[in-house]
Amino acid sequence: MKADYLEESLFREFEERLLQPNVRKSAKDIMDLLADEFIEFGSSGHVFDKQQIIKSLQNEPIEPLTRRSITEFKTLVLATEVVLVTYRLVRHISGEQSVHSLRSSIWKLNNHRWKMMFHQGTLVRES
């Protein structure tokens, strides 16, 4: 079952926050959005836990001429208080070819707060 419009916009807001450079650099902001048992299958082929993601994002170089955009955003309720989010992410880098990836996240309501439990990024050719 698709999440209702208000929920869908909430999850889109969460995903977009995670793309903002100031949020990515903030360990507190990332800790607030990710569950303690979070795991990511990165587009690099590596598997990351919450602490590894926090450290990686703090060391991520700031790319002032990079812009990220989300398209094809969808939500699907998997169970009570569990939502799957899927979308296409395009990373626009000034003077370079854009990088496209398919993204999926699983969000779970925990103590009245939505937390990301899982994320996967898969590089794809431009559609």
At residue 113, the pLDDT reads: 95
pLDDT one-digit tens code per residue, 50-108: 999 999 998 887 776 778 899 999 999 999 999 999 999 998 877 788 899 999 999 99
pLDDT one-digit tens code per residue, 11-23: 999 999 999 989 9
Across the chain, the runs of DSSP E, i.e. the strands, are: 34-41, 47-49, 66-79, 82-93, 99-110, 113-124
Contacts of 111 (CB under 8 A, 6+ apart): none
At residue 3, the pLDDT reads: 67
- Which CATH class name applies to 5-124? alpha beta
Q: Is the pTM of this model over 0.85?
A: yes
User: Residue ranges of the domains in the chain?
Assistant: 5-124
Only one residue has tokens 């998997």, namely 78
pLDDT at 4 over 90: no
